[in-house]
A and B are shown apart, each in its own frame.
Chain A
């Protein structure tokens, strides 16, 4: 439990700091590291001291539940990942399926968050996430299946060990890029932030304030961290690496993936939803299928 909590907590803080650095670099301003390091904590403190808003007839229970669902699913996903040989909360036999299932339930959490405010902009944000989710879930599931083929197991630990000689990022070059696109969408981050974008005045979080906003922003970053942790394990060889201990390698690889995701958020414009769905079905899913077929043929 501590491992999962520490991973998500530190990971979310790392996302905030990386995002601060990315924003300063993109804006061409000076890097004041002290402000960037303290900024997320100050904002969290402010949100914690701010009152919770309410709307006309919200669905209060669902509203409170939404961030818990999203955060809980991120935690479930991280629990299945080993951080070193034998260091995992629950390296279950079908950990990769668990991750895929957890990410599918994130959809429920995001939609509930949009629905329960009883307000138009959050609701449209929720609709958008549902409309796009299948386009993320399909390539995600396919590239994970492809990664499981050489390991002949659905356990994340076995997938990590199967990369002893060659990381999946090299063995299956299509895998990681497709996985990161899907992961960005699942965390509604950067270019795929349809659910909470500025064009919807904040989307599903347009009506939340104070502790509820803090919980939501954390939950959303937890998903991003979970995506990076699983990505590090499944595509970058997990805890394997010379000299440093396993957990250190996992931390480094996770941070590297988070840096890529955050960098993309500051470099790529928000995509048009309709066009993204077309590309997802016409390009991403076929590529993911190619990934599965080629990986399967090689594994035979």
Chain B
């Protein structure tokens, strides 16, 4: 008797009627649940067009952003909210929720994760913890330095002290890891800043310093260790970057002063390695098939279909950034060299224009791009929108936020979210 036949036979008994009633009931519940869950799942999908990590999807680009930056009356500053501590970490946007981290207290050891309503600026929830690792950092920086990351359902916040926390988007604690407690010599007393990523349900952090130097993958669902690999004992602030390959696999690219490696997010096993040291402040960038590795020059590699190391497309010293990472939109890339913004073609490396941003000094914040508008902030909190008109550029808006900005701004739903050291700003 086949399985189907046995089900039919069973259904002939009296009990079978009950069975089918329950089955029907369960199906109805399932349909009702599907109706409830479906919009959530859709929202989660839509959230992928949000800004869910350092530089959003890894390129620093979004579809749309504000036309101007005006904090005056009648301007486009939608809201400005004081935060519970300092931060140099970028904010992220998950659906209609902005998530930002802060650190406070005499030594920056009080850690905060704050969920803010994107439309109103109202604080929806806040969690606070105490650092379990080394909280020390340079006075211009903060323990809240790495940008959080989300998969649409969970929020991962990470701090210079190597405290790693997973919250739901409702602010509930899912799990907590004290990687600085587990590895007390992991840290840099100038401050760490590498941002976490999520790939294949693994949280990956790159903790590279002169003490305990390693990268690790942690299960997103349970907080348990998946893998840990030793990394060179040298200071590094660059962040890991997930890249999708043609065969549907994901790799995590990590660059440091001695090499570039790509590892499997679930096992940490090496997929390919480039024996060439790259920059230790800016991070790798991905746009389409192009992987951009900053260093003394910008090395641009094209991701191939073979699964092996990407192929070198071109390299040029014209686009090597200072502190900020390179960003890219459509066929363009933009590199911030101090207060000079340089634009070029991703495919060829041809330089299109360079613009000295006269009102801005140097800084650390990686720009963000929406269409042909590039949003740049310096360390003093001066910001500008630069419009790329093809073979030329023009500053179309300038603003002073009157507080230091070291964090990369976020773009979502046409809004620009800027995390100043003490406040969170939203321009619409």
Partners in one complex: no
